[in-house]
Amino acid sequence: MYWTLELASKLEDAPWPATKEELIDFAIRSGAPMEVIENLQEIEDEGDVYESIDDIWPDYPSKDDFFFNEDEY
């Protein structure tokens, strides 16, 4: 399983919190790339409910990780 920013961004609009099956369903319905669906299928599922993409990919960068000043735009 591997994640990139592009792949993870396909789940930004997912109905959080969600189960593994709900995320797979969302990915299929939203036309996400097959890699996203495969990554979700590889998650070891113990009936967990995921609150955000951070629960699936802990290294997902947050707004604080980017160095830009929003006031300039």
Let me know if residue 48 belongs to a domain.
yes
Express each pLDDT in 10-53 by its tens digit: 998 999 999 999 999 999 999 999 999 999 999 988 888 999 99
Structure tokens that stand for 64 in this block: 């604080």
Question: Rounded to 5 degrees, what are φ and ψ at 60?
Answer: -60, 125
Q: Does the global pTM surpass 0.75? A: yes
DSSP H helical ranges for the chain: 5-9, 20-29, 34-41, 53-56
Domain hosting 36: range is 14-53
Let me know if residue 66 belongs to a domain.
no
Backbone angle region of 15, left / alpha / beta, with phi > 0 → left and psi within -120 to 50 → alpha: beta
Let me know if residue 7 belongs to a domain.
no
- If one counts the domains in the chain, the total is 1
Backbone angle region of 36, left / alpha / beta, with phi > 0 → left and psi within -120 to 50 → alpha: alpha
Let me know if residue 61 belongs to a domain.
no
